[in-house]
Structure 1
Amino acid sequence: MPRAEVGSTKHLANQMKSKGLQRLRWWCEPCQKQCRDANGFKCHVQSESHVRQMHVVGENPQKYIQNYSGDFQRDFVSLLRTAHGEKWIGANKFYNEYIRDKEHVHMNSTRWSSLTEFVKYLGREGIVNVKEDEKDGLMIAWRDTSIAATKRREEIREQELAEARSGAGEDKLLKKMSKRAQEEAEEKARILEARRVAQAMKKDSASPLAEEKAPEPSAGDNAAEGKTTESPDGQKKDDAATGEEAEALKEATAPVKFSFGLKAKVPPSGKPGLGQMKSQSIFKRQRTDGEKKPKKKVKL
């Protein structure tokens, strides 16, 4: 049965019936014809036009399969670049977007038997980036191989390396600072230990001197009283020795303070201060020892 003429009512009816996607197994790629059911596909396969077209394809099948594969790959990658760019998307989800066009090249006419095999081929060739996700399965993203994109990636990589180097320099500086602080703490600990040793030596040297200076009680007094007593002078000397030891200990343990402030000068004890000076006239004559003060004259 011949095809309906374009613009006729039969052609319009067929177009309305074939609206939307149809079954892929009822699509004939050499004839570019979509059948609506199995009976229609069977009739098409037995038609003279299909048989003649299959004879042409049978003369060089590899050439036609290569052409269909190239067209399918070109359209697939072009849609991925324009629709999603370098963003990740599920392979199955994007394939559903690709087959929305009824005039697309079908996968059954290419050299790939499944979508997974095709996606793995694109990943091996470096055309797209491929990764496997637990939720969405295979994920794909277009890979920009242009000169500008390559240059931009190199600049980003150099910037990241510079940041890493600067971070390593900061780490080295922090390590040096921590090491210096640790050395200073060890030095302070050694100084304190030396001071403690010196204080202990002072105490050891001061204790026998105090024992030698302490007066010994007389044997007669001790026998008369029947008990030992200490003299008040020895007790005072012991108190003075302990006070001197405490002051020496404070001076040794007290930290050294440096002051760069300006202090007011203290006037000498023998001279009067600024507010204590008396006003004297340089024209007055100094009196002798026996001379009396003249009386004031009163004017009448």
Structure 2
Amino acid sequence: MGRAEVGSTKHLANQMKSKGLQRLRWWCEICSKQCRDANGFKCHVQSESHVRQMQVVGENPQKYIQGFSTDFQRDFISLLRTAHGEKWVGANRFYNEYIRDKEHVHMNATKWSSLTEFVKHLGREGIVNAKEDEKDGLMIAWRDTSAAAIKRREEIREQELAEARSGAGEDKMLKKMAQRAREEAEAKARMAEARKAAQKQSESPPADDKASGTPAEEKDAPEAEAAPVKLSFGLKAKALPPNKAGLGQMKKQSVFKRAREESGEKSVKKVKL
């Protein structure tokens, strides 16, 4: 049975049935034909067109395998660059994005037998950055090797080094300031302790001088000066000398008796009759 003509109802029906991903084992890369089941793939392999294509490929198989490998790597890297850029993405996740296109080059037609081997090859060639992650497994990221990208990386690196140097200088300055403040605080504390010790020593009485037997204050103190005369303006009467009669003695003696004693005459005792 021949192939349906392009644009016919049969051709449109076949296109609608084959829409989307199909089994990879039922895909023929040489003829670029996807079969829907094992029976269809068996019939295709036995067809005249497939046998003729296989005869052409058999003459130089390395040439076709290398061509398929080059196309697969080119399409893979192009989609990685446009879709994710230099961001990290899981290799299996990105491969599922790549095979959404029905017309893509399948990996079973290339020289790589698995996706892990292909990613390792890209990492060795320096085309992508690859790493192993515990959560997402094998991770890949596109590596821009253009001259502009290399210059931009160098500028970013120089800026980071300058920031690191400035940060180290600032740290050193902060350490010096902290050391200076610590030294000033220690000096102030020593001065305060010395002041307190001197104050305590001045308040406590010094010990007596054992050698001289006199107190230290008397030994060190200068000679005492004469006490100044104090003037009193009180009303207290001064003591009279003993040869002078005071106010109390004058009251005890009469005026006439005192006059006779001063004149030296003896008093005559009068006798009443």
2:153 corresponding residue in structure 1: 153
Task: Report deviation, 1:106.
Answer: 0.4
2:142 corresponding residue in structure 1: 142
1:184-203 matched pairs, under 5 angstroms? 184-188=184-188, 191=191
Structure-1 separation of matches of 2:167 and 2:83: 39
Task: Report deviation, 1:132.
Answer: 2.1
The CA RMSD measured in Å over matched residues stands at: 2.9
Structure-1 separation of matches of 2:191 and 2:12: 105
Structure-2-length-normalised TM-score: 0.70
Whether the 8 Å CA contact 2:90–2:138 is kept in 1: the answer is: yes
2:76 corresponding residue in structure 1: 76
2:172 corresponding residue in structure 1: 172
Matched, 1:8 2:8: yes
Q: What amino acid is the match of 1:49?
A: S
1:28 corresponding residue in structure 2: 28
Change (3 A) 1:199 1:212: farther
Structure 1 gap segments, 5+ residues each: 215-236, 242-300
Structure-2 separation of matches of 1:117 and 1:20: 27
Task: Report deviation, 1:203.
Answer: 8.1
Structure-2 separation of matches of 1:121 and 1:156: 28
Structure-2 separation of matches of 1:124 and 1:37: 38
Task: Report deviation, 1:195.
Answer: 5.6
1:107 corresponding residue in structure 2: 107
Task: Report deviation, 1:175.
Answer: 2.1
Task: Report deviation, 1:17.
Answer: 1.9
Matched, 1:59 2:59: yes
Whether the 8 Å CA contact 2:209–2:215 is kept in 1: the answer is: yes
SS in 1 for 2:208: helix
Structure-1 separation of matches of 2:12 and 2:180: 90
Task: Report deviation, 1:15.
Answer: 1.6
Structure-1 separation of matches of 2:201 and 2:90: 83
Task: Report deviation, 1:67.
Answer: 0.7
SS in 2 for 1:19: coil
Q: What amino acid is the match of 2:74?
A: R
1:272 corresponding residue in structure 2: none
Q: After superposition, what is the alpha-carbon deviation per residue over 1:85-124, rounded to whole angstroms, capped at 9, x for unaligned? A: 1222221111111111111000000011111111122122
Q: After superposition, what is the alpha-carbon deviation per residue over 1:233-258, rounded to whole angstroms, capped at 9, x for unaligned? A: xxxx99xx9xxxxxxxxxxxxxxxxx
Task: Report deviation, 1:181.
Answer: 3.0
Whether the 8 Å CA contact 2:91–2:138 is kept in 1: the answer is: yes
1:212 corresponding residue in structure 2: 214
Q: After superposition, what is the alpha-carbon deviation per residue over 1:123-143, rounded to whole angstroms, capped at 9, x for unaligned? A: 222211222222221122222
Task: Report deviation, 1:35.
Answer: 1.0
Structure-2 separation of matches of 1:60 and 1:72: 19
Change (3 A) 1:61 1:208: same
Q: What amino acid is the match of 2:214?
A: E
Q: Percent identity?
A: 81
Structure-2 separation of matches of 1:5 and 1:134: 52
Change (3 A) 1:18 1:201: closer
Query: Once structures 1 and 2 are overlaid, which stretch shifts more, 196-205 or 131-140?
Result: 196-205
SS in 1 for 2:102: coil
Task: Report deviation, 1:208.
Answer: 2.0
Structure-2 separation of matches of 1:174 and 1:39: 80
Structure-1-length-normalised TM-score: 0.64
Change (3 A) 1:75 1:204: same
In the alignment of these two chains, the number of paired residues is 217
Query: Once structures 1 and 2 are overlaid, which stretch shifts more, 156-165 or 173-182?
Result: 173-182
Query: Once structures 1 and 2 are overlaid, which stretch shifts more, 111-120 or 71-80?
Result: 111-120
Structure-2 separation of matches of 1:8 and 1:195: 112
Structure-1 separation of matches of 2:21 and 2:178: 71
Whether the 8 Å CA contact 2:69–2:111 is kept in 1: the answer is: yes
Q: What amino acid is the match of 2:107?
A: M
Whether the 8 Å CA contact 2:207–2:215 is kept in 1: the answer is: no
